[in-house]
Structure 1
Amino acid sequence: MTIDSLQLDEKIVAALSGVSTATLTTVLLKHGLRNVWLRGTRPIAEGQPRLVGRAFTLRFVPAREDLATPASWGSPISTRAAIEAMPSGCIAVVGALGVTDAGIFGDILCARMHKRGVAALVTDGVVRDIAGVLNTGLPVWCQGTASPPSVAGLTFVGWQEPIDCGGVAVFPNDVIVVDRDGAVLIPAALLDDVVAASVEQELLENWIMSEVETGAALPGLYPPNEANRARYEAARISSISLGGALGRDPAAGQG
């Protein structure tokens, strides 16, 4: 049984687009979540933007010779069928068991995902047809590339169900944020609290960086003691009243 996809509020997307994955892991740690960074998810190309979207999950299991065949690509339960169910703006998160010698998707599948408005592909596996994949314009986070097709090492079994990707439990409609550091998961149930805390954390770290750039020492500043916290709050209020922003561009920060 698959789970229906949910849209993500544009205000949430805008807020998280200014928060680094490094900051998010700190905030999630404060909420008691340590295992939120999807291991092996690296940007396949330089310059890929920070992206935010609901997780649309796909699951592979180890290859079984009677099931993992080229003929399975035409099955009703196939990666091709899953792509047609992906909503615009989602991030396709594929649990591939960390297999690095069989490419889960190639250029044609990635081109179709891009055409459907999928924001990105994230997997703990690899892709194939790298030149073609790059030409599709679909941002990809993965472990690299391999020439053999998925059926050389994996069997596709379904979509929009809980998966393991990079050692992290990913449920449909969890929120994924990707940037140069990789992919981080925000549990759907914690989204509002994490967004509010993350925006505040990013503002604080922007202010701390501005203090460091003026020569301030770190003890008592990072993390801030009571006096420095008061200075930050005063600067924040002043910045809001002037309609400005604290410190550096939040998109530049990696915490």
Structure 2
Amino acid sequence: MTEYVLSTETRAKLMKVSTASVATALYKRGLRNQFIQNVFPIAWKGRNMVGQAFTLRYIPAREDRNPITVFRKADHPQRVAVDTCPEGSVLVMDSRKDARAASAGSILITRLAMRGCAGVVTDGGFRDAEGIGRLDMPAYHQRPSAPTNLTLHEALDINVPISCGDAPVFPGDVLVGDGDGVMVIPAHLADEIAEECQGMETFEDFVLEQVQAGASVIGLYPPTTDEAQAAYDGWKDRNGR
């Protein structure tokens, strides 16, 4: 089986679609659990986050394994994940939906940004959230974590299937984040979802314009009349869409 690689074309399409459109397209295919729950942008950048998932899994820390000295180790999984997440990818962390202990702080997230990663997502929290929010790279978390409690979690596995905010995330899946949150697109569906959502966004632009002009949504959204479809076709021609 060939490993999926997100193309420049598909990335560009997904940069222009909403997580709501992605959710609808996935729902049509029977996938209802692809939104990462209770995860929000630290500071909305005004543009989407798009990239393939590179994952890190945390487990509850066992005290004898997690003194503060573990961070000195060159093979510490948290540090290794930050230094090996590929350029253009999104580091996605299963932090057990627990923001008490930091998934990372501003120095590590700055390292991701400097390495050209597309973003970072945790279903836990970040320390130094204010500093992370000042970075140009998108970052999503549940809420700021305590600056202490460093070792409540143990970073264990790199680039394995995880759960993040109750959504299944497999390495290579495509993450799309906007101002509302983050959707996970299974890798094998990414190209067709991007194409379909691009069309959905065009149609919704038309509908919003019609509603703002006083039109009823009945028969328009969805377009269940010949008149609505004809109006949409004409709108696309006039607007070069």
TM-score (normalizing by structure 1): 0.87
Confirm or deny: 8 A CA contact 1:99 1:126 kept in the other structure: yes
Once the two structures are superposed, the pairs formed by residues 50-199 of structure 1 within 5 Å of their partners are 50-73=48-71, 74-149=73-148, 151-199=150-198
Deviation string, structure 1 residues 101-143 (Cα, Å, up to 9, x no partner): 1111011111111111111111101000223323444321101
Task: Give the deviation of 1:234 after TM superposition.
Answer: 3.9
**Amino acid of the structure 1 residue aligned with 2:51:** G
**Which consecutive segments of 4 or more residues in structure 1 shift more than 4 A?**
none
Q: Distance in 1 between matches of 2:198 and 2:44?
A: 25
Unaligned runs of 5+ in 1: 246-255
Aligned length: 238
Task: Give the deviation of 1:148 after TM superposition.
Answer: 3.8
Confirm or deny: 8 A CA contact 1:63 1:151 kept in the other structure: no
Q: Distance in 1 between matches of 2:46 and 2:207?
A: 27
Task: Give the deviation of 1:150 after TM superposition.
Answer: 6.4
TM-score (normalizing by structure 2): 0.91
Q: Distance in 1 between matches of 2:210 and 2:235?
A: 11
Q: Does 1:229 align with 2:229?
A: yes
Q: Which SS does the other structure have where 1:126 is aligned? A: coil
**Amino acid of the structure 2 residue aligned with 1:212:** V
Q: Distance in 1 between matches of 2:212 and 2:14?
A: 25
Aligned to 1:252: none
Task: Give the deviation of 1:92 after TM superposition.
Answer: 0.8
Provide the aligned C-alpha RMSD in A: 2.0
Unaligned runs of 5+ in 2: none
Q: Distance in 2 between matches of 1:118 and 1:230?
A: 44
**Amino acid of the structure 2 residue aligned with 1:9:** S
**Amino acid of the structure 2 residue aligned with 1:99:** D
Q: Say which is worse superposed, 219-228 or 73-82, in terms of deviation.
A: 73-82
Confirm or deny: 8 A CA contact 1:99 1:153 kept in the other structure: no
Task: Give the deviation of 1:147 after TM superposition.
Answer: 2.5
